[in-house]
Chain A
Amino acid sequence: MLKRAKIWGPGVLLLAPTMILVGVFVYWLIIENFRVSLTNQHTAKPSNKYVGFENYTNLLADPNFQHSLWNLLILTIVFLGGTLIFGFLWAWILEQPAKGEGFFRSVYLFPMSVSFIASGVVWRWLLSSLQTSQPGGERTTGLNRLLDSVGLGAFQNDWWSNPTWGIAAIAVPAVWQLSGYVMALFLAGFRGIPDELREAARIDGCTEWKLYRHVIFPQLSPVMLSAVIIIGHMSLKLFDLIRAIVPDANTYDVQVPATMMWVKYIGSDYADAAAIGTILLVLVAFVVIPYLWYTSRAEKR
């Protein structure tokens, strides 16, 4: 027993700082946050009266918060769909070795290196639905103008200034920024498929489509799952991009829980802010815990 402890001891000791830090900064704070969310601390003045789940029921009944959940749903669907489609398409095109492959890969990946705050500066412009009156009459701006001049005027729209679907416009720059990352994940997946497997399928007379349907896609599904988890949880947390594109923090149109939490925090409504945080955590946990469970199971096998 003592001998075993001697073997494990140093490892546990080396891991101890991280375990303590994560224990305090993740788990203890989650509990503490939950505690605050059950109090009536709605102003800067400390107040610890226990109110049960009142803040949660109030939030869920609040049309503003309901709208932010709707926005979050739309954002996540468009963000996920967009990055998966472009990421897969690019990886699929680049999968066979080609001249200049490195160049294309770098270009597709580069937006990922830029902060949402920096890219938000230009996207705020591109997604502007303003009509500026210049000499020469009403002129459209940004992407609308580009669409107009290439003959796709029908696709012009008011982007994020639409209360129901405006949030989908916010997903456009998010897709722009992270499709390259999903491409890199899919490329890794493609490279992980042994050539023999494809050869075997071809020799057996598989058509291209059947090859994809029965060999490639099943082999890619773990990568796809990782991509869904990574992008999905980024979408649930998305905050800076919205703040950068829509300057007015209190805007209703593109409010999501993450930005609403900020508004509550600025207004010193700590209990509500904490409650929104906990709701976000629950949403993320629904996605992530099965995934963590699945991967740790898969590893044991």
Chain B
Amino acid sequence: MSTATVNNKNRLRSAQDMKSDAKRNNKRRINRTLKYALLIFFVIIVLLPAYVLFITSFKGTADADPSRAWYLPQTWETGGWAKAWTTLAPSLGRTVILVVPSALISAFLGSINGYVLAKWRFPGANIVFTLILFGMFIPYQAVMIPLTQLVSDLGVPQGIPSLLLLHIVYGLPICTLIFRNYYATVPDELIEAARMDGAGILRTYGSVIFPISAPGFVVVLIWQFTSAWNDYLFAAFFSSGRNGPVTIALSFLAGGQLTDYAASMAGALIASVPTLIVYILLGKYFVGGLMSGSVKG
């Protein structure tokens, strides 16, 4: 904030110094007003669904009607929230048990893979990398039928255990990609120096690479956390309302013909809170990491 004001002052002063004609200043002011008007207009558009979600979650049954979607509640009620909470609470617990380990494990494996592919290259490493990467883009529908068979043949129980396995496996390609791009920016000399000191592949990882991996881990963990938390496709095929994650429970709460709108809107908010918190707290790092990754592309 303080740097922003300093910058602004500098800009103002240099504008004065230049004694540029008033016309240009005027144009700039119009441009700026237009710019903020546009930005605020889009903020309103983007927030509209969130507004409806929020106010409807506090409405009573009769009040929660699509024709009254834009109006504030006649009376603020919390019945919807209570119902949504009791319906979703068990699945929320299961989702945490699913999402945290799967994010940690695939991030760790991705970090090792990215390190090998960026800094400990072997002949054919590029081909191997491309083959792994392709796994990130496949539509999972193209493996789903035999996958259900394979998972049951392996004896992995339906519900959280199956989903844990699947999120780790199918998270590997993107984790590997992000870490490989991240480690590509690490100077080779660091690795060489460790090698000269006689450190092996794991020692080098532990002493040189891992300690500087925090930014990569932040991006990968956020990514994996959100995509596993929000997954519905695997959950639909490998779990039920009884043993599934929160997306499944929410789809049951909100589906059907006689929907309790207040409760389903409250449920949608409850189910979104963890990922929202992650974005609000860590979104900056996420965008930063995304940028470093995509610029390298």
Please report A residues at the B interface, Cβ cutoff 8 Å.
7-8, 10-12, 14-15, 17-19, 21-22, 24-27, 29-30, 32-33, 36, 86, 90, 93-94, 97-99, 102, 104-126, 128, 130, 132, 134, 139-142, 145-146, 149, 173, 176, 180, 184-185, 187-189, 191-192, 222-223, 226, 229, 233, 236-237, 239-240, 243-244, 247, 257-258, 261-262, 265, 270, 273-274, 276-278, 280-281, 284, 288-289, 292, 295-296, 298-300
Contacts and interface: CB of A to CB of B under 8 A. Distances in A.
A219 B20 CA distance: 31
Contacts of A229: 137
Given A104-B42, A244-B232, A284-B138, 8 more contacts: A10-B201, A21-B172, A25-B169, A26-B135, A106-B280, A110-B46, A117-B268, A141-B66
A25 B144 CA distance: 10
Q: What 8 A-B pairs have minimum CB-CB distances, sorted nearest first? A: A115-B230, A141-B66, A188-B291, A281-B142, A8-B122, A240-B232, A29-B143, A32-B146
A274 B145 contact: yes
B143 A277 contact: yes
B166 to A, nearest CB: 8
A126 B52 contact: yes
Contacts of B291: 184, 187-188, 191
A106 B283 CA distance: 7
Interface residues of B, number: 96
A296 B130 contact: yes
B8 interface: yes
B164 to A, nearest CB: 13
Do most interface residues of chain A lie in helix, strand or loop, or is the interface mixed?
A: helix
Contacts of B121: 11
Given A22-B172, A110-B279, A284-B137, A117 B143 contact: no
A29 B146 contact: yes
Given A93-B39, A296-B126, A18 B279 contact: no
B251 A29 contact: no
Contact of B254 (A86, A121, A192): A121
Contacts of B254: 117, 120-121, 124, 244
A270 B250 contact: no
Nearest to B141: A277
Contacts of A17: 109
Contact of B172 (A18, A98, A106, A192): A18
B290 A12 contact: no
Given A36-B146, A97-B7, A247-B256, A11 B139 contact: no
A284 B257 CA distance: 35
A237 B116 contact: no
A113 B229 CA distance: 10
Contact of B142 (A107, A117, A240, A277): A277
Contacts of B267: 121
B221 interface: no
Interface in B239-277: 247, 250-251, 254-257, 261, 264-265, 267-269, 271-272, 275-276
Nearest to A98: B35
A231 to B, nearest CB: 12
B46 A108 contact: yes
Contact of B275 (A115, A128, A130, A223): A115
Indicate the member of B35, B173, B226, B294 with the most A CB atoms within 10 Å: B294
A142 to B, nearest CB: 5
B155 interface: no
Contacts of B35: 93, 98
A18 B268 CA distance: 35
